[in-house]
Amino acid sequence: MLTYVLCLNITIILRLDFLIKVWYNQSMLILGIDPGMAIVGYSLLKAEGDNLDLVSSGSIQTKSTQKDSQRLFEIFEDLCSIIEKFKPDAASVEKLFYFKNQKTIIPVAEARGVIIMALEKYGIPIYEFTPLEIKQTLTGFGRADKKEVERMVKITLNRETLPKLDDTVDSIAMGICCARCCANGKLVAQ
């Protein structure tokens, strides 16, 4: 019981620290995550006022020949390593809203659960956005295609090129969405 109370207090303090950074326009590090079983895209964005810088980005890739439990454990372990290395102030995770491919919805949901568990382990505030919300925030149009979102990511970060994997670019878009919502005061942790 005492351990639970201490963990709860630490989580509350970490989340209050994040809110103070948002309110006072201080620098914060946002971890954007695009969940998946085969590929988890991630990015770390430093947000300082209206300025956004891409600190790091990449992917966690699992092998389809492994058991699902092994793949999920690998995602958890790798994400914990990323969190420990960079110590993000907040995380932006894609919310499952609608899935065209019914075969992949359960594995993606399982991977998303492991991701949320890892973030919760470290007391990182989690902000969830649907693809429609991300597109709306970045382009002004909720039905924008991938190329339009990619173009706005390049413009926002003032970059000519982006990582090759769509999953990584999607994670950057999520981080930008989170930063913009913070700046506009439209954010509520899940």
Catalytic residues: 34, 94, 167
DSSP 8-state class, residue 186: -
Q: What are the residues whose beta carbons fall under 8 Å from the beta carbon of 169, sequence distance 6 or more? A: 41, 149, 150, 153, 162, 163
Helix (H, G, I), strand (E, B) or coil at 43: strand
Which residues, other chains included, contact 109 with Cβ-Cβ below 8 Å and sequence gap of 6+? 96
Q: Return phi, psi of residue 103, to 5°.
A: -70, -30
Query: At which residue do the structure tokens 């065209």 appear?
Result: 100
